[in-house]
Structure 1
Amino acid sequence: MYQIGEFSKITRLTIQTLRYYDNEGILTPSYRDQQSGYRFYNDEDFARAEMIIRLKQFDFSIAELKEVLVAIDSGEELQYFLDEKREQLNFEVERKQQLIREIEAQLGDKQDERRQTSYQINELDIPAMLIASVSYQGRYDEVGKHIGQLFKAVKGKAAGPVFICLHDDSYQEAANIEICAPISRELNDSKVTTRVLAGGSAISTMHYGGYDLLQFAYKALFTYIFEHNLIAQIPSREVYHRGPGMFFKGNPNNYQTEVIILVEREGANNNE
C-alpha cells in the first residue's frame, strides 16, 4: 500500500489531482483509514492511474473519463473508445493533428518491451558531500535548460556524476529541483551555490532506459519502503550515470539513472 504522497511520486499526479479524482469517483483509493481519513493506494490503483493518464493525454474530458471507465469496468474494450475519439478529432484536423499522431503512436507503442522487468534494491549509507548546485522551480523535463549553467561553473572539476535533488514530497507541476555536482573544493562563482549536502541511510536502484519509464523505479523503491517498514525522506535523488549530452540526446535505451531515497525506520510524519 502507498500513502498519497508516495503514490503521487509514482504516478506523477499531484496530491491535489489525486484528491480531485477521488471526489469525482475516477480514482478512488483502495483503502481509507476510518479514523484519520488518510488515503492508501495499491497496485490496482496504479494500473488505473496509468490508464487515466493516457486517456487525459488523448484529450478525454472528466465527463468522458467517467463514462469510459464505467464501461471498461463493465467489460468493454478500451480500443473501441479510442477509435471513436480518433474519429471526433478528425473533424478538428488543423487543431488536433498532433493529438491524433500521439494516439496512433500510443496504439502501436512497444512500451512493455522497453520496460525494465525487475529492480534490485540496495540499502546503503550515503556520506555527506560538498556540492555545487543551481536550483529552479518548474517542470521535471526542464533540467536540460538549467544544467549548462552548472557545467560552466564546475568546468570539469566534478568529483562524480551530476544528479538532481527533488525537494518536494509529492509530484508537482512546478517542482523544486536542485541540479548538483559533487566537488572536491568550494567554487568561487556567484551563479552557483556551494554547500554540504547531508547524507544518511538510503535505498537505491538503477534504472536502465529512458526517463519516460522512470516511474517504475520509484514504484519499486516505494514498494520496498512499505514492505520493510521504512519512512521516505526528502530530498530524493536521481543520479545520471549515463544520459543525454549537451547537444545530442543519444539513444535513451542506453541511459542509466540511479534513483536514491533517504529513509528512516521510525519517527516519520504522515504526509496526507
Structure 2
Amino acid sequence: MIKIGEFSKLVQVSVPTLRYYDQVGLLKPVEVDTVTGYRYYAASQLPKMHRILALKGLGFSLEQIAAVLSEGLTPEQMRGMLRLRHAQIGQQIAEMQAQLGEVEMRLGYIEREEQIATYDVILKPVEPLLVASVRAILPNHSASGSLFGEVYDAICPHVAKALGPNPGQGGQTMVLWYDTEFKERDVDGAAAFLLRCRVPERGRMRVHELPAATMASTVHHGSYNTIGDAHTAVLVWIEANGYRIVGPDREVYLYNKAPIHLDDPTYVTEIQYPVEKVS
C-alpha cells in the first residue's frame, strides 16, 4: 500500500485534492486507518487516477468524470461527449477572441492616438423619437447651427406643449448626418428638436419619427471643434467589432448654452450611430 503523501507525488495531485476526491467518491483509498484516519492507496489505482486527470484536462466536470468511471461508456458515447466538449471549447474560444479583439482595439487606440482612447463606446437601444427638423445641403458641418432657428420658429406657435415643460431652455436638440461617406463640403444634414407631441409642419420644417435602433454610442465632453475625435472613436469601434452603419448618425446635444461657441470646452454631446451586426 502507498501512503497518501507518496501517492500524491506519484500522480502529482495535492493531498487536499486527493482527500476531496475521496469525499465526493471519485477515488477512494483502499484503506483508511481507523485510529489515525490516514489514507492508503494501491498501485492498481494509478490507471484510474490517470484517467481522471486526462478527463479533467479535457475540461470535463467531476460529475461527468464520476459518471464515466462508474457507468463506463461505449466508444460512441465517448465520441459524443468529446464532440460536445469540442463545441463548448469552440464557443469559449470565440468569446475569448471577441474579448481579445476589444483589448487589442483599446491598445490600438492608445498606440495610435491617446485622445481617441479616452472615449468609451457602448451599444445601447434607442426608442423611436418624434422630431421636428429641417434638412438641407450645408456648406460644411459647422453650418448646421443655422438651421435650428428655422426649426424653432416653425414650432414657436406650439412651443409650450411641444417642447415643455421648460420651453425656455430650448428643448432637446440634435443634428442628423445623412451622408454615407465623409465630406468636408456640401454635407447632407438636419437640425432637429425632440417633440412631446405632433405639431403642424411649416415651411421646410417636417415632423417625423426617427425609428428605434441599436446605437454605437459615446459621449464627447468638449468643444464642437474637437467633436470629430468622438466620431472617429465610434467608427473605429464599429469596424473592429464587426458592425455596419444602417442609418444617419446623430449628435445629441446634452448640454450647451446660447450663444453657441464652437470652442466652448464645457459642452456635452452624445454621438450615436445606428448599427447592426455583420452576418
Which TM-score applies when normalising by structure 2?
0.51
Question: Aligned partners of 2:252 and 2:136: how far apart in 1?
Answer: 17
Could you say which residue in structure 2 is the equivalent of 1:201?
Answer: 214
Could you say which residue in structure 1 is the equivalent of 2:149?
Answer: 148
Q: Does structure 1 conserve the Cα–Cα contact (< 8 Å) formed by 2:145 and 2:191?
A: no
Q: Does structure 1 conserve the Cα–Cα contact (< 8 Å) formed by 2:230 and 2:271?
A: yes
Answering whether residue 182 of structure 2 is matched by residue 181 of structure 1, we say no
Q: Does structure 1 conserve the Cα–Cα contact (< 8 Å) formed by 2:224 and 2:263?
A: no
Q: Does structure 2 conserve the Cα–Cα contact (< 8 Å) formed by 1:232 and 1:263?
A: yes
SS in structure 2 at match of 1:190: coil
Would you say how many aligned residue pairs link Structure 1 and Structure 2? 158
Question: Aligned partners of 1:181 and 1:238: how far apart in 2?
Answer: 12
Q: Does structure 2 conserve the Cα–Cα contact (< 8 Å) formed by 1:168 and 1:234?
A: no
Question: Aligned partners of 2:228 and 2:263: how far apart in 1?
Answer: 19
Larger radius of gyration: 2
Q: Structure 2 matches for 1:63-212, cutoff 5 A?
A: 118-138=118-138, 139-155=140-156, 156=159, 157-158=162-163, 161-172=172-183, 173-191=185-203, 192-212=205-225
Could you say which residue in structure 2 is the equivalent of 1:265?
Answer: 277
Over the aligned positions, Cα root-mean-square deviation in angstroms equals 2.6
1:21-80 deviation digits (Å, cap 9, x = unpaired)? xxxxxxxxxxxxxxxxxxxxx98xx88xxxxxxxxxxxxxxxxxxxxxxxxxxxxxxxxx
Q: Which runs of 5+ in 2 are unaligned?
A: 1-107, 165-170
Q: Does structure 1 conserve the Cα–Cα contact (< 8 Å) formed by 2:116 and 2:232?
A: no
Q: Does structure 2 conserve the Cα–Cα contact (< 8 Å) formed by 1:243 and 1:249?
A: no
Alignment CA distance shift 1:134-1:231 (3 Å): same
Q: Which runs of 5+ in 1 are unaligned?
A: 1-41, 48-111, 268-272
Which TM-score applies when normalising by structure 1?
0.52
Q: Does structure 2 conserve the Cα–Cα contact (< 8 Å) formed by 1:162 and 1:180?
A: yes
Could you say which residue in structure 2 is the equivalent of 1:218?
Answer: 231
1:177, CA displacement in angstroms?
0.5
Q: Which amino acid aligns with 1:209?
A: G
Question: Aligned partners of 2:129 and 2:200: how far apart in 1?
Answer: 17
SS in structure 2 at match of 1:221: helix
Could you say which residue in structure 2 is the equivalent of 1:32?
Answer: none
Q: Does structure 1 conserve the Cα–Cα contact (< 8 Å) formed by 2:225 and 2:262?
A: no
SS in structure 2 at match of 1:195: strand
Alignment CA distance shift 1:250-1:143 (3 Å): closer
Alignment CA distance shift 1:152-1:217 (3 Å): same
Q: Which moved more, 1:201-210 or 1:250-259?
A: 250-259
1:149, CA displacement in angstroms?
1.0
Question: Aligned partners of 1:244 and 1:170: how far apart in 2?
Answer: 30
1:116, CA displacement in angstroms?
7.0
Q: Does structure 1 conserve the Cα–Cα contact (< 8 Å) formed by 2:147 and 2:190?
A: no
1:101-154 deviation digits (Å, cap 9, x = unpaired)? xxxxxxxxxxx9xx5750121211111121111111012111222210112223
Question: Aligned partners of 1:213 and 1:189: how far apart in 2?
Answer: 34
Q: Does structure 1 conserve the Cα–Cα contact (< 8 Å) formed by 2:255 and 2:268?
A: yes
Q: Does structure 2 conserve the Cα–Cα contact (< 8 Å) formed by 1:116 and 1:207?
A: no
Question: Aligned partners of 2:209 and 2:134: how far apart in 1?
Answer: 14
Could you say which residue in structure 1 is the equivalent of 2:250?
Answer: 237
Q: Which amino acid aligns with 2:121?
A: I
